[in-house]
Amino acid sequence: MSRPGQPERSATYAEVFAVAEFRWSWLALVGSVIGDQLARVALAVLVFDRTGSAGLSALTYALTMLPDVVSGPLLGGLADRFPRRRIMVSCDAARAGLVALMAIPGTPLWILCVLLVAVQLLAAPFQSARTAFLATLMSGDTYRAAVGLSTVTVQAAQLAGFVAGGTIVALLGSSQALALNALSFAVSAVLLRFGVQERPVPLGDDPTARLSWWGSLVAGARLVWHNRRLRYLLALICVPGFYITVEGLATPYAASVGGGPIAAGILFAANPAGQVIGILAASRIPPARRMAMMGPLAIGTCAVLIGCVFQPGLWVTVGLWMLSGMCACFMPLAQATFVQEIPDAQRGQVIGLARTALVVTQGMGILIAGAAADHWKPAIVVAVAGALGVIYAAGAARGYRRAEV
For residue range 314-352, what is the model confidence (pLDDT) as tens digits?
A: 899 999 999 999 999 999 999 999 999 999 889 989 998
Average pLDDT estimate for 142-159 = 86
Instruction: Tell me the backbone φ, ψ of residue 176, rounded to 5 degrees.
Output: -70, -35
pLDDT band at 1; cut points 50, 70, 90 = very low
> pLDDT tens digits, residue range 203-259?
765 554 566 777 888 888 899 999 999 999 999 999 999 988 877 787 788 888 777
Looking at every residue in the chain, the average pLDDT score rounds to: 85
pLDDT band at 54; cut points 50, 70, 90 = low
- Reply yes or no on whether the pLDDT at 295 is more than 90: yes
pLDDT band at 4; cut points 50, 70, 90 = very low
pLDDT of residue 32: 78
Q: Does residue 189 or residue 314 have the better pLDDT?
A: 189
pLDDT of residue 164: 67
Residue 397 to residues 41, 191, 197, 339, Cα–Cα distance (Å): 37, 39, 38, 18
> pLDDT tens digits, residue range 94-110?
999 999 998 898 888 88
> pLDDT tens digits, residue range 67-86?
777 888 888 888 888 999 99
> pLDDT tens digits, residue range 338-391?
999 999 889 989 998 998 888 888 878 877 887 888 888 888 999 999 999 999
For helices 330-341 and 261-282, the axis angle rounded to 10 degrees is 50
Name the range with the highest mean pLDDT among 31-35, 214-218, 304-308. Answer: 304-308
- Reply yes or no on whether the pLDDT at 200 is more than 50: yes
CA-wise closest residue to 239 among 115, 365, 346, 345: 365
- Reply yes or no on whether the pLDDT at 58 is more than 60: no
Output the DSSP codes for 102-148: HTSTT--HHHHHHHHHHHHHTHHHHHHHHHHHHHHH--HHHHHHHHH
pLDDT of residue 178: 86
Residue 134 to residues 19, 231, 286, 344, Cα–Cα distance (Å): 11, 22, 21, 11
Give the DSSP letter of residue 53: -
What contacts 112, CB < 8 A, 6 or more positions away? 43, 46, 47, 60, 102
pLDDT of residue 105: 87
What is the CA angle 128-389-268, rounded to 5? 70
Q: For residues 293 and 298, what is the distance between their CA atoms, to the nearest angstrom?
A: 9
CB 144, CB 336: distance < 8 Å: yes
Q: For residues 67 and 54, what is the distance between their CA atoms, to the nearest angstrom?
A: 21
Q: For residues 294 and 218, what is the distance between their CA atoms, to the nearest angstrom?
A: 29
Average pLDDT estimate for 5-13 = 71
- Reply yes or no on whether the pLDDT at 395 is more than 90: yes
pLDDT of residue 336: 93
pLDDT band at 2; cut points 50, 70, 90 = very low
pTM, two decimals, is 0.84
Average pLDDT estimate for 17-29 = 92
Burial of 29 (0-12, 13-18, 19+ CB in 10 A): buried
What contacts 90, CB < 8 A, 6 or more positions away? none
What contacts 49, CB < 8 A, 6 or more positions away? 174
- Reply yes or no on whether the pLDDT at 55 is more than 90: no
**315 Cα distance to chain centroid:** 27
